[in-house]
Amino acid sequence: MTLNIDEQDLYSKRQTLIDTARRAFDKGLQTNAGGNLSVRLAGIDACVIKPSGVGYPECTHDNLMVVGFDGTILMGTLKPSKDKDFHLAIYRARPDVNSVVHVHSPWATGWASAKRDIPLLTVQSIEKLGHLPSIPLGENGGLQSAAQVEDVFKDKSIRGALMHNHGTIGVGSTMLKALQLCEIIEETAHIATVKEIVSQGK
């Protein structure tokens, strides 16, 4: 791949990712070094992505990676996340998606670990999410494959998904929109849990 990156765009996208990662961490959507987030670069089939083993609050301009949509590492010395393949698959399948956010937020991941769909109970969740599909575990109970994730997100109406035993994915035209979807999914999972507890007490 010919490296033709707009330096101003690269700086801006890195900073946006750093700010988004901090917000996700501060809101408790992701702790330690799990989860992943990425943002599409302008004019090139590549994205800025968080490296493996780096926590959300530790993201910096120096440690973020640039990876081509074919998987080629274009910039950075660390190892991209093992989740990079499904990020790249979404970008290839969805030109309208400019950012992918994946978190292990506790309420939503609780539902995902129970292999239960999160009911969309509020006006906001219905309006913002529309439909929240669940993606089962991969082969031999392993992590979801890029092909599984791509199959779900090929549908342009899908903005978020629940991954069994893994967490959530939000996509959007901006990083903020992708993160806000993950926030709504987490809020919706929390509300659904409270509703179940209250209903049992009747």
Span 160-196, pLDDT tens digits: 999 999 999 999 999 999 999 999 999 999 999 999 9
Q: Which domains does the chain have, with CATH numbers?
A: 7-200 (3.40.225.10)
One-letter amino acid at 110 equals G
Q: 63 and 75 in contact (C-beta within 8 Å)? A: no
User: Which of 90, 102, 104, 164 minimizes the C-alpha distance to 133?
Assistant: 164
**Cα torsion for 147, 33, 187, 152, to the nearest 10°?**
0
60/70 Cα distance (integer angstroms): 24
Q: Answer yes or no: is pLDDT of 144 > 70.
A: yes
The band of 5, judged by pLDDT with boundaries at 50, 70 and 90, is confident
Give the helix/strand (H/E) hosting 128.
Answer: helix 123-129
pTM: 0.94
Q: Answer yes or no: is pLDDT of 2 > 70.
A: no
pLDDT confidence of residue 37: 96
User: Which of 52, 118, 131 minimizes the C-alpha distance to 84?
Assistant: 52
One-letter amino acid at 191 equals I
pLDDT confidence of residue 202: 59
Residue 51: DSSP 8-state:
B
Q: Please count the other Cβ atoms lying within 10 Å of the Cβ belonging to residue 92.
A: 14
